[in-house]
Amino acid sequence: MRIRKATLAAIAGTVLFATVGTALPAAAAQTPQYCALVRSSSTCVDTFRALVARVSGVKDAPLTPPARGSRAMNGLLARIDDSSGVVSGLFFTGDDWATSDVLAVMEGGCSSPSGGNWGFPKVKDLSTVFSGKFDNRVKSGIGFNNCQMTFFQHPVFQGASATAENAGQELDVTSIRGFYKPKTIAEGVKACGDGTATCTFTAQGKTLGKGPATLIAEVNNCSSVEQQQSMTWANTQETSLSAGGEAGATVSVEAGLGDAFKLGASLSLKATWGKTLTDSETYSSSYWLRIAPGKKGMLWLSPPVEVYSGTASVQFRDSGYIMAVPYTITQPIPTPEGQGATFSDRILTPAELASPIECPRGSQGLQGELNRTK
């Protein structure tokens, strides 16, 4: 076998070494770093499993992180959030979490809007922890224990900011702060009224329908012959505004802190559909009711309504967290007199026929005896 020797050449005062026929060794893959920051103390461990066990009640996590968005990772994150640990956030240096360095921050979570006894979890300056290995490298993450984690460009939460869930954002992250993450639709509605959020309303749909049936009168015929009853009635139906639906528990938007939410929804209704929101609509009419013997006659009102749907984008001022709050406006519309009213009847029960309230003269009441119970 012929061995080719290395040659030495001097070119313009520069000495170059060249080895022919010998392959350079491949650069060793960098081992991911898994580190936990617990207020004033910090530690790094060898595996992702050890890190998760260190900061939560989950002891059987994979040795390395599952890929971002995978079923395995989503399931693991849910288990961590449900565990008894005090981890506030996991942060990754890349979009592909499986190959990222991982930083865990533990400070007890964000259980209340005030931050509780310890205040909100925070990292004032990433350059001062773990020899700066996470400074300007964190790209994405997720909060736990009701924390909305927010990234900041400069130390002590200054400069541009972005929510931790953003993937691949270009912000050079130098500090991280946790904020209380609103849990309910009611909190989103309240924030629009107390000034802690900026709320933008977008009207999206319009349908026609009928409001729920309202019992406006009932009459008992306790006699043995058919009776007629003249009835004049009036009923007021109120416009309703509710928030929630599929995105969360539905809440009625009431006066007070709900006024700003109602105003925003009303303005979007006017801008999109040219419709002015009214508080109520009154319906009235006169009827002759024919009630068979031994029956209860009932008059119902199901007014026609216009149903408007939309979504409020509620952006909380402290964290930048955005909550989508769907809302529905149900407004009764004017109709010709009597329209929307319907009549039904049923047989009076033996107890009702014997009742001095339902049938004051008993089941064998005088001919023509009617008792209006409503």
Query: Is 337's pLDDT higher than 50?
Result: yes
Angle 252-257-260 from CA coordinates, rounded to 5°: 90
The DSSP letter of residue 4 is P
What does the domain layout of the chain look like in residue ranges? Answer: 30-180, 185-372
List pLDDT tens digits, range 304-324. 899 999 999 998 887 778 888
Query: Is 108's pLDDT higher than 50?
Result: yes
**CATH code, residues 30-180:** 2.60.20.10
Pairing of strands 240-245, 322-332: antiparallel
Distance CA 1, CA 268 (A): 85
In 3D space, the residue among 209, 327, 321 whose CA is nearest the CA of residue 261 turns out to be 327
pLDDT at 257: 58
**3-class state of residue 148 by DSSP:** strand
In 3D space, the residue among 37, 192, 178 whose CA is nearest the CA of residue 109 turns out to be 178
pTM passes above 0.75: no
pLDDT at 91: 92
Distance CA 223, CA 219 (A): 12
pLDDT at 29: 53
List pLDDT tens digits, range 5-36. 333 233 333 333 333 444 445 444 577 889 99
pLDDT at 259: 83
